[in-house]
Amino acid sequence: MNIALFSDIHANLPALEAFFADVEKRNPDSMYCLGDLVGYNIWPNEVVNEIRKRKIPTIAGNYDFGIGRMSNECGCAYKTDIEKDNGNISISFTNSLMKEEERAYLRTLPAHIKVEFQLNEDKLNLLLVHGSP
């Protein structure tokens, strides 16, 4: 069984397209996105729509959670004042780009996904999360 897991796209549409081109060659049995669709880059709506179009089960990353609620907080663990300042610019920029339909989709994302696979006589139970349970 082949399972494709990916995360932290952060609105980078060209990288997501390259990932899809590669993963489609591998033909996984299942595919899951572990969050952080948005933030930092200029294509948050396009990334959200690519995930939605493919109906990929997706969990909310910390950035998705904040942007979905039009918060000025991304839940990021910045260590320095410069990192915090850059983070504030990034979340403000992303909030300014987001369309309401895509923002509403982010609000629907769960915090985790439980998956069970049957492998011959064995069951494989997975708990998919963005950072930690």
Radius of gyration of the chain (CA): 16
Domains of the chain listed by start with CATH number: 3-129 (3.60.21.10)
> What CA–CA distance (Å, rounded) separates 33 from 74?
18
> What CA–CA distance (Å, rounded) separates 99 from 119?
41
- pLDDT for 25-62, tens place per residue? 999 999 999 999 999 999 999 999 999 999 999 999 99
Structure tokens at 4: 């494709």
Structure tokens at 29: 């049995």
- pLDDT for 56-106, tens place per residue? 999 999 999 999 999 888 788 889 999 988 888 899 999 999 999 999 999
Q: Which residues contact 15 (CB under 8 A, 6 or more apart)?
A: 9
Q: Are 48 and 105 in contact (CB under 8 A)?
A: yes
Mapped onto helix, strand or coil, the DSSP state of residue 113 is strand
